[in-house]
Chains A and B, each alone.
Chain A
Amino acid sequence: MIAAARAFPTLLRIAVAEMVAYRAEMVIWILTATLPLVMLALWNAASAGGPLDGFGQADFARYFAVTLLVRQLTGVWVLWELNQQIRTGALSPQLLRPMNPLWWQFAETIAAIPWRLLVLGPVLAGVALWRPEIVFVPTLAAAAGFAVSLVLALLVAWFVQCLFGILAFWFDQSLGLFQVWFFVWALLSGYVVPLPLLPTSVAAVATYLPFHASLGAPVEVLLGFAPVGPTLAIQAAWVAVLGAATYLTWNAGLRRYGAVGA
C-alpha cells in the first residue's frame, strides 16, 4: 500500500501520456455515456405542461446536467480491460510485477478525468445556453459534500466493475452479467429517472443500494435534496464492502487463473 502510494504519481503521469496517445478513441468512449442528455430532452417534453412531482423543466435541466457531469467523472472502463486481459492472458506480464495490476488500471481511470472534462465542457456550455437556469451556486456545505460524495461514487463504480471483471476468472460471460446489472443500475441510480419521481417505497429502498451510491448520491447532495451525512455514510459503507469483496475475489481468482493461453 505504501509502495503503491509512492509509485502512484509516476503511474498517473504515464497513464496521462497513454490517454494522449488514445485521444480519438477516448472522445468516442466518452460520448457513449451521454444518455442524460437524451433523458433531459424526454423529461423536458414531459414536464412542458407543468411540474411532475415538483420537478419543473428547469429542475430537470439542472438534474440531468449534474447527472451527466457525475456520470462522466465517475466513468470506469476497468471491467472491459480486466475481462479482456484475463481471457487472453495479457494479465500475465502485469502479474509478474510486485504491485497489484489494479493500481495501474486505477491510474488509467483517473488519467481519463481531464479528458472527460475537456469533452464535457462544450456539451454543458451548450445545455447552459439552452437553459441558463441550470447555472447555480451551491452552498459551501453542499459543494464540500459533493466533492467527497463524488470520490466515493467513483470508488463504488470502480469496485463494482472490478468485481464483474474479476468474474472472468470463472466465467466467459461476465460482460453479459454486467449488462443485467447496468439495466437495474440505470433504473435505480437516478440515471434515467430522478429518484424522487419513483414510487416512495422504491425510492426509499434505492437510497441504500450501491446503484444510487455510484451516481445519484453526489447529484442529490449537490442539488440539496439528499441529507449529506447519511448519504456519505451509505456510500462509505458500500466502498468498504465492495473493496473487501474485490480484494477477496481477486485473490481467489488468481488461484483460478490460467485458462489456456494465459
Chain B
Amino acid sequence: MIEVRNLTKTYRVPLKAPGFVGSVRSLFSRAYKDVEAVKDLSFTIQQGERVGFLGPNGAGKTTTLKMLAGLLHPTSGAVTVLGARPQDRDSAFLRQITLVMGQKQQLLWDLPPRETFELNRAMYGIPRAEFTNTLDELISLLRIEPLLDKPVRNLSLGERMKCELAAALLHRPRVLFLDEPTIGLDVEMQVQVRQFIAGINQRFGATVLLTSHYMQDIAALTPRLLVIDEGRLRYDGALTELAREMAPERRVVVRSVEPALVPLGFVEDGGKMIASVAPEAVNAILARALAAVPLAELGVEETPLEEVMGRYFRKEAAAPPPEGAA
C-alpha cells in the first residue's frame, strides 16, 4: 500500500556569507552545502491504517510526506504508494491521494471556498452528482455551511482549515497525508478536526499518515507511531508500547498542596502534589495518601505524551539505537 525503501533526500543549499561583501562574493563563486533531510528511511503502511509521524522540527517529516505525495523527487531509494511511483505524478495516482499542509493553502484567497470546490471538481473531473453528495457530506461533518459564500480572506484560521480539508477530500482520496493539520488552531477546533479525520478513516477506510506537533493529535488519532529524528527512523510501533517502555510509571496526583504528603514521595508541582511510582506501587501509595487527603482530591495519570517523547529524544541523543532497532 505504502512502501518506503531506503528513502533518502539531500537538499543542496547555497551558502552565503553575511553582508554586502558576502553577497558580491556569492555572485561569482557559490558554495553549497548538502543537507540530508531524510536518510535511509524504510517502512510499510497497510490500507486503512492511521499512522502518526513524530519528530522534532527539521526531522524530515514534511520532506517525507512531500515525497510520498509526489511533490519532491527522492535523491535515492524507492517509494510506492498505491502501486505508483509518486514522483511520476500520474493523474490516476493524484486522484487517489491528498496532502493537507497546515501552512500552505489551496483555497483561492479572494473568493468564497465554494469556488475552490468548483475548481477542484473541474480539475479532478468529478461527476456533478458525486460531487454534490461528497460536498454535502463534508459540509455537515465539518459544519462549514455558513462559510461557503464568504471570501476566504474573511475566514478565521480554524474556519479556513476546515474548508481546506473539505477541498482536499472532495475527490474521495484513499490516502490522506496530513502535515500539521491542526497547527495554530484553538483547542475546540483541534478536537473537531481530529474527530473529522477519524471519521473519514472509519467511513471510507482511508489510510491516514499525519504529522503534528500536538501530542493530543497523535494520542487521539494514530495507534501506530513512526518517530523520525535527523532524517532517520527511530521507532516504529504502537504508541502504547512506547509509553510503557519509556515511562512505565504512573503519576499519583493530589489536587491540592499538602505538606504531610512529602514523606510519601510527593513533590509540589504548580499547586498540585505529584508522586511518580511503578504501576504495582500505586495501590499502596494511594492507601497511605488517603489518610491525609480526601478521595476527591486524588487521581492517577499516565505520563503525558510530551514527557514520553522528551525522554525518548534525550535517550536517543545519548545513545543511538543499534542497527535494525527500528
Contact = CB atoms under 8 A, between A and B. Distances in A.
Interface of A: 3, 6-7, 10-11, 14, 17-18, 21-22, 89-90, 92-99, 104, 254-255, 257-258, 260, 262
B104 A97 contact: no
Contacts of A3: 91, 125
Interface stretch (B114-122, B134-142, B264-272, B295-303): B114-122
Given A7-B123, A93-B106, A262 B151 contact: no
A10 B91 contact: no
A192 to B, nearest CB: 31
A153 to B, nearest CB: 28
A99 B72 contact: no
A155 to B, nearest CB: 22
Contacts of B66: 92, 258, 262
A10 B122 contact: yes
Interface of B: 9, 11, 13, 63, 66, 69-73, 87, 89, 91-92, 94-95, 97-99, 101, 104-106, 108, 110-111, 115, 118-125, 151
Contact of B91 (A11, A17, A94, A98): A98
Contact of A257 (B69, B72, B118): B72
A30 to B, nearest CB: 18
A89 B94 contact: no
Contacts of A255: 73, 87
A96 B98 contact: yes
A232 B12 CA distance: 44
Contact of A18 (B106, B108, B124): B108
A3 B126 CA distance: 11
Most chain A CB inside 10 Å of its own CB: which residue of B66, B69, B119: B119
Give the 10 A-B CB pairs with smallest separation, nearest first.
Answer: A93-B106, A10-B122, A21-B110, A7-B122, A98-B91, A98-B94, A258-B72, A99-B123, A97-B123, A255-B73
A89 B104 contact: yes
B94 A96 contact: yes
B104 A92 contact: yes
A98 B124 contact: yes
A99 B72 CA distance: 17
B110 A97 contact: no
B125 A6 contact: yes
Contacts of A95: 70-71, 89
10 contacts: A10-B121, A11-B122, A93-B99, A93-B105, A96-B98, A97-B124, A98-B92, A255-B87, A258-B9, A258-B71
Given A10-B122, A93-B105, A254-B89, A98 B95 contact: yes
B115 A17 contact: yes
Most chain A CB inside 10 Å of its own CB: which residue of B73, B91, B101, B122: B122
Contact of B108 (A14, A98, A99): A14
Contacts of A18: 108, 110-111, 115
A10 B119 CA distance: 7
A226 B118 CA distance: 44
Contacts of A260: 11, 13
A258 B11 contact: yes
B111 A21 contact: yes
Nearest to B173: A96
Nearest to B107: A93
B104 A93 contact: yes
A147 B75 CA distance: 48
A260 B11 CA distance: 8
Contacts of B118: 10, 14
A97 B168 CA distance: 10
B63 to A, nearest CB: 8
A73 to B, nearest CB: 24
B42 to A, nearest CB: 21
